[in-house]
């Protein structure tokens, strides 16, 4: 380690600095004593408004309870709205399923009506074919037996009348079935329109 030199302090300079610091501290204490604030004088007044402390605490407690109830009410309203939305979605899906089932039922009924019409038409043609065969077995119109109005002529008349009655009956049945099918189609269309209007009003009410 290298050598070093210790310098002795200047006592005169040190004493001067201590005297200056002491004087400054004395001046600071004197200034504090001179500028010390005096006693505060205020006019007595009642604080807290017109309510007492008990009433203020009671009001504070009531506001806290109301805040809790409001939060609970908002939570319940949110849950209720969520359930209502879920139920509306379920009802919408059920309505779609019902519409599909109804359309399928209408389709089945139409197919059944078509099959019945085809059956009646086939039956009508077969009946005509049978009557035509019966007519072929009867004597001709220019024969003497028909001119004499014998029993065979009476049988031909009955056969012709029966054939005509069957045709009229079949035509009447076909016309009635067609009218019934048209009435059912019009009724289904009217019900469909009513359901669409009711669904539209329900959606508008829900949106409002």
State pLDDT tens for residues 83-136.
999 999 999 999 999 899 989 998 888 888 888 888 888 888 888 777 777 766
Contacts of 188 (CB under 8 A, 6+ apart): 102, 106
For residues 104 and 58, what is the distance between their CA atoms, to the nearest angstrom? 68
State pLDDT tens for residues 191-205.
888 888 888 888 888
Q: Is the pLDDT of residue 51 over 80?
A: no
Where is 86: in which H helix or E strand?
A: helix 53-136
For residues 202 and 208, what is the distance between their CA atoms, to the nearest angstrom? 10
Contacts of 123 (CB under 8 A, 6+ apart): 170
- Measured torsion, CA atoms of residues 87, 92, 93, 97, in degrees rounded to the nearest 10: 130
Where is 104: in which H helix or E strand?
A: helix 53-136
């Amino acid at each position: 380690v290298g050598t070093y030199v210790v310098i002795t302090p200047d006592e005169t300079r040190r004493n001067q600095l201590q005297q200056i610091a002491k004087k400054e501290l004395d001046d600071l204490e004197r200034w504090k004593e001179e500028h010390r604030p005096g006693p505060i004088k205020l006019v007595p007044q009642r604080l807290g408004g017109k309510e007492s402390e008990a009433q203020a605490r009671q009001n504070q407690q009531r506001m806290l309870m109301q805040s809790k109830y409001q939060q609970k009410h908002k939570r319940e309203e949110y849950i209720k709205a969520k359930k209502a939305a879920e139920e509306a979605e379920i009802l919408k899906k059920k309505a779609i399923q019902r519409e599909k089932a109804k359309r399928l039922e209408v389709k089945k009924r139409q197919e059944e009506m078509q099959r019945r019409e085809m059956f009646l038409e086939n039956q009508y043609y077969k009946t005509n074919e049978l009557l035509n065969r019966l007519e072929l077995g009867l004597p001709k119109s220019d024969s003497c037996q028909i001119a004499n109005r014998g029993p065979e002529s009476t049988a031909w008349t009955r056969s012709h009348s029966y054939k005509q009655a069957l045709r009229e009956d079949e035509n009447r049945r076909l016309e009635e079935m067609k009218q019934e099918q048209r009435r059912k189609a019009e009724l289904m269309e009217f019900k469909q329109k009513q359901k669409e209007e009711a669904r539209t009003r329900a959606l508008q009410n829900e949106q409002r």
